Amino acid sequence: MLVILSKSVSAHDKEMILIYLRDQGFAVREQKLGDDLIIGAVGKSAADLRELSLLPGVERVAATSKPYELASRETHAEDTIVTVGSGETAVKMGGSRITIIAGPCAVESREQILETALRVRESGAVILRGGAFKPRTSPYAFQGLGMKGLEFMKAAGEAADMPIVTEVVSPEWAAQMRDLTDMFQIGARNMQNFELLKRVGSLGKPVLLKRGPSATIEEWLLSAEYLLASGTKDVALCERGIRTFETYTRNTLDISAIPVVKALSHLPVIVDPSHAVGIRAKISPAALAAIAAGADGLTVEVHPRPDEALSDGPQSLYPEQFERLMRDIEALAPVVGKELLRTPRSTGSAPRRAAPVASLTPVASLTPVAKLSAELPVAFSGESGAYAERALMRAFGEDVPRLSCPGFNLVFNAVLDGSAAFGVVPVENSLAGSIHENYDLFIRYPDIAMAGELKLRIVHCLIAAPGADMDSLTIVRSHPQGFEQCREFLDKHPQWRLEPWNNTAAAVASIMREKNSAGELPPHIAAIAGEAAAAAQGLKVLKMGIETNPLNYTRFAIISRRVGDAAPVPPSLGSERPNKASLIFSVPNKPGSLFACLKILSERGINLSKLESRPIQGQPWRYLFYVDVSIPETEGLFTQTLGELKAITEDFHFLGMYRAAA
């Protein structure tokens, strides 16, 4: 049982609550979990929950059927986001983004760990792993470099702008290691070393807890409970394979454990495919399977020269293999509704092979910002649960401040007047086509640039009041694009009247505003939106997946205000070289004008990925062309091409350049 105390509880009231629980026969402990002060009460006694909830200083009481109370989703419904590191390169683990940890099995030398850190960082890893202390089966195997190795690793993490995670093997070493690592790892062999768990938990640092080779899921979660009960609030669970009768792989990766644990616990789940299969060629398939099953991230062993590795060389990827895996994860992420996490480099540091962005175009270069101000939100159109809000959280994280706007134009206004640091707006859907309103807004707001893009899979649901059913419906509300994307389903119900709404989440919220005098919701009104919108309003999903085609994706643009010839990019998107740009222009009314523009692109080897015409307002039978193009690797070629296009076009607008979404 958990007793959540009110924020204003007095010391006297808290003491009286503790006395009450002890008198009832409970063993009690205090725990800070996020912003909540919690008293955990464990025992076989039965307490009157109503009487307990009425005690001064008690906000609510949560009873759980699980022995792991603090780790249970019953008492903490929302996903926990574990923060590793601090400052600009702090990593948020969990939620809607996929976190990749990479590095060698063991720190072998200063040069080896630094080289590995730079290589995996360049490919997209955000946390550096490596063992300074190595518990080995054989007493004659390499045991690690100890504290000297940890010092090498910390220096490598700082050089690559990455927090580090390393294994702690004994309670005696924990305090000495505290200031040298950003996250402790409890290895599989020590999962049930309870004295170690209590000591590490008391230090308050994030912990990556590996599952033991023969541990049940409940035993694994109870080990997490030790850490949480001892003081830390940041625990990530790591599935690394269990021991079975199979001999073709080192262990057996328990893929089924991922969705099971995600349902039982709020803690993020990381998968270690390297230890799970133990064979280099099998790691990437296992890693992708883990992401598909819902893992929040991976920890992967990478070594610049695996054949020379002092530990676990056969299961270590070459840097080139790791880079290919990262590209595959980036392509898979939108399918499972997630985004691959990227973190910025510190000022003055940049990934290798990154060309200077300003040299690519004099029209609107992009400038990475050090960090998003905590006082400035990111704007989106719609209400809580909107698809745009989901896209926003994938790009910026779940804890970023958000500004809800009732219309797309107000998102542009908020970014323009400085009310928001960035905005997120949809620009194209894979089934219904372009959202022309937002392309037109780029013309109306020339000081706004595209700073990034991402793709979000759209799964539409039919949402209504808890007491409604399909037969009771007469009205369905949604954005016109939502209707178009669900046309096949709606055609089967011609008796429903379709009412267009500004956005899908607002359509859901409109149901809540139509309560009658008795507080009852209308059973005849439904809305088409995402599952998150239903959860935000406490409504019921009547049917999920009603879109005509499951390959339904919306492309969102991240917008920011131009400052001179530059526009800031979000920290999570600013570390890689832009490879895509968007333009708008018109052409003279004479034969071959558009062909001349396309000819310039063709001769320069620049790929054209989108070409669409839109009527020019106030000029009948004149058109603007919206164009998406690739940015070539050759420095200066793109700038030259833009100059040639501007010379033969009219009303030329450079919307921005950015990293293309997978």
pLDDT digits (tens, 9 = 90+) for 1-26: 778 888 888 888 888 888 888 888 87
Angle formed at CA 429 by CA 423 and CA 435, multiple of 5 degrees:
60
Tokens found for residue 351: 């990934």
Strand ranges, E, within 430-533: 433-434, 448-457, 461-464, 475-478, 497-500, 525-529
Strand ranges, E, within 284-394: 297-301, 339-340, 365-368, 378-381
Torsion sign, CA atoms 661, 300, 220, 60:
negative
User: For residue 35, what pLDDT is reported?
Assistant: 65
pLDDT over 90 for what percent of the chain?
61
Which residue(s) pair with 78 in the sheet?
A: none
Q: List pLDDT tens digits, range 164-194.
A: 999 999 999 999 999 999 999 999 999 999 9
Residue 352 has pLDDT above 70, yes or no: no
Lowest-pLDDT range of 118-127, 153-162, 424-433:
424-433
Lowest-pLDDT range of 37-41, 173-177, 218-222, 404-408:
37-41
**How much is the pTM?**
0.73
Torsion sign, CA atoms 473, 475, 478, 479:
positive
Residue type, 50: R
Which CATH architecture describes the domain 82-340?
Alpha-Beta Barrel (3.20)
Q: List pLDDT tens digits, range 427-460.
A: 998 888 888 889 889 988 988 999 889 889 899 9
Q: Which of 337-341, 353-357, 537-541 has the highest mean pLDDT?
A: 537-541
Please name which of 182, 79, 99, 74 lies closest in space to residue 399, comparing C-alpha atoms.
79
What fold characterizes domain 2-62?
Answer: Alpha-Beta Plaits (3.30.70)
Q: Which residues of 206-220 are buried (b: 16+ CB within 10 A; e: fewer)?
A: bbbbbbbbebebeeb
Torsion sign, CA atoms 438, 439, 442, 443:
negative
Spatial separation of the C-alpha atoms in residues 521 and 523, rounded to whole Å: 6
Any long-range contacts for 118-121 (C-beta under 8 Å, 24+ apart)?
A: 118/159, 118/160, 118/352, 119/302, 119/304, 119/319, 119/322, 120/160, 120/302, 120/319, 120/322, 121/160, 121/161, 121/162, 121/351
Q: What class is the 357-457+553-658 domain?
A: alpha beta
Please tell us whether the domain made up of 461-544 is placed in CATH 3.50.50.60: no
Taking residues 350-372, report their average pLDDT.
38
Q: List pLDDT tens digits, range 70-93.
A: 899 887 878 999 999 988 789 999
Q: List pLDDT tens digits, range 612-627.
A: 998 887 778 788 999 9
DSSP codes of every residue in 411-425? HHHHHHTTS-SEEEE
The answer to whether domain 357-457+553-658 and domain 461-544 are alike in fold is yes
Residue 409 neighbours by CB distance under 10 Å: 17
Which residue(s) pair with 99 in the sheet?
A: 297
Strand ranges, E, within 337-494: 339-340, 365-368, 378-381, 402-405, 422-429, 433-434, 448-457, 461-464, 475-478
Taking residues 364-386, report their average pLDDT.
68
Strands 297-301 and 269-271: parallel
**Domain limits, the chain:** 2-62, 82-340, 357-457+553-658, 461-544
Spatial separation of the C-alpha atoms in residues 328 and 285, rounded to whole Å: 10
List, by residue number, the catalytic residues: 554, 556
Spatial separation of the C-alpha atoms in residues 86 and 31, rounded to whole Å: 23
Spatial separation of the C-alpha atoms in residues 146 and 169, rounded to whole Å: 11
